[in-house]
């Protein structure tokens, strides 16, 4: 009777053990490698037990691959966790700036006033100034500036720089700050007032908002009302505070009639 290869038996035993211990870092991978090596050797010999050798070889290969995928995924999770922790710590390390943002922004553990800077002279300076203001707006609510939509006219502020659909209804994690481009440019001292009829309309709307002790922020031609705010920006919670937000309704036809000779 042909003698069974000891390597084949060892390969099968190690392969079976790797099913249970292959998840242990380093030790598990060594078990799998030994099962593979001991499974290959009998395939080139004359002794019986090649079936056991192949079984041990397959178990070793499969568990080695699964183990590597598992540890790679685990490493990715820890990496993402560390990245989010760093962003959170960075946000928490920023100082509490004066409440009259957007004229203040935090950087390098200091508060700076946008008005400290000289006149905005180029597009890069304007973009940096606007970014500083948006950062300051989010910081007012203990959040991180994440994105800005010029089309939708709002700043997205989040807790960790990212968000999911489930976060949208949680103001402690996700918040939209309404911020038309006009307000950002005015805060940076780079706004050019329109002339002619458009300038007349803006002046009239500014007067209407001024009567409410607020500043003209935006006008909706669809809803036909002017948005008046205390600083050019607002969040949903401000809608119930008359000192921060009010709507002045005036039809587009009325504005056209007032400014019809200003073309």
Q: In the predicted model, is pLDDT for residue 255 greater than 80? A: yes
Q: What is the pLDDT of residue 75?
A: 74
Cα dihedral 85, 91, 92, 98, rounded to 10, equals -170
Boundaries of every domain in the chain? 6-90, 111-186, 193-258
Which two three-digit tokens encode residue 46? 């004359």
Q: What is the mean pLDDT of residues 217-230?
A: 92
Cα separation of 162 and 167, whole Å? 10
Q: What is the pLDDT of residue 227?
A: 94
**Do the beta carbons of residue 174 and residue 157 sit within 8 Å?**
yes
Which two three-digit tokens encode residue 105? 């922004």
Q: What is the pLDDT of residue 83?
A: 52
Cα separation of 255 and 224, whole Å? 10
Q: In the predicted model, is pLDDT for residue 16 greater than 50? A: yes
Q: In the predicted model, is pLDDT for residue 111 greater than 80? A: no
Q: What is the mean pLDDT of residues 192-204?
A: 90
Q: What is the pLDDT of residue 110?
A: 45
Q: What is the pLDDT of residue 108?
A: 43
Q: Which residues make beta-bridge pairs with 82?
A: none
Q: H-helix or E-strand containing 178?
A: strand 174-178
Q: In the predicted model, is pLDDT for residue 217 greater than 50? A: yes
Q: In the predicted model, is pLDDT for residue 233 greater than 70? A: yes
**Do the beta carbons of residue 168 and residue 148 sit within 8 Å?**
no
Handedness of CA 177, 180, 183, 187 (dihedral sign): positive
Q: In the predicted model, is pLDDT for residue 193 greater than 70? A: yes
Give the β-pairing of 144-149 and 110-113: unpaired
Whole-angstrom CA distances from 64 to 27, 41, 61, 197, 253 are 11, 18, 5, 74, 75
Q: What is the pLDDT of residue 41?
A: 87
Q: In the predicted model, is pLDDT for residue 86 greater than 70? A: no
Q: In the predicted model, is pLDDT for residue 14 greater than 70? A: yes
């Amino acid at each position: 009777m042909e003698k069974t290869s000891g390597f084949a038996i060892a390969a099968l035993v190690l392969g079976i053990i790797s099913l249970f211990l292959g998840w242990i870092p380093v030790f598990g991978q060594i078990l799998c490698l030994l099962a593979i090596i001991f499974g290959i050797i009998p395939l080139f010999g004359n002794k019986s037990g090649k079936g056991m050798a192949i079984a041990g070889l397959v178990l070793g290969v499969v568990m080695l691959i699964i183990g590597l995928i598992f540890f790679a995924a685990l490493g990715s999770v820890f990496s993402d966790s560390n990245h989010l922790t760093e962003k959170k710590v960075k946000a928490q390390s920023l100082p509490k700036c004066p409440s009259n943002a957007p004229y203040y922004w935090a950087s390098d553990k200091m508060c700076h006033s946008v008005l400290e800077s000289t006149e905005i002279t180029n597009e890069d300076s304007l973009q940096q100034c606007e970014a500083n203001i948006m950062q300051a707006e989010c910081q007012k609510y203990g959040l991180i500036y994440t994105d800005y939509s010029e089309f939708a006219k709002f700043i997205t502020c989040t807790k960790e720089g990212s968000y999911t659909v489930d976060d949208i209804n949680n103001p402690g994690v996700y918040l939209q700050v309404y911020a038309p481009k006009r307000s950002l440019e005015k805060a940076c001292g780079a706004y050019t007032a329109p002339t002619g009829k458009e300038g007349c309309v803006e002046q009239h709307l500014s007067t209407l908002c001024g009567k409410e002790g607020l500043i003209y922020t935006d006008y909706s031609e669809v809803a036909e009302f002017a948005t008046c705010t205390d600083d050019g920006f607002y969040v949903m919670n401000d809608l119930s505070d008359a000192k921060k937000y009010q709507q002045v309704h005036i039809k587009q036809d009325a504005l056209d009639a007032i400014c019809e000779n200003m073309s």
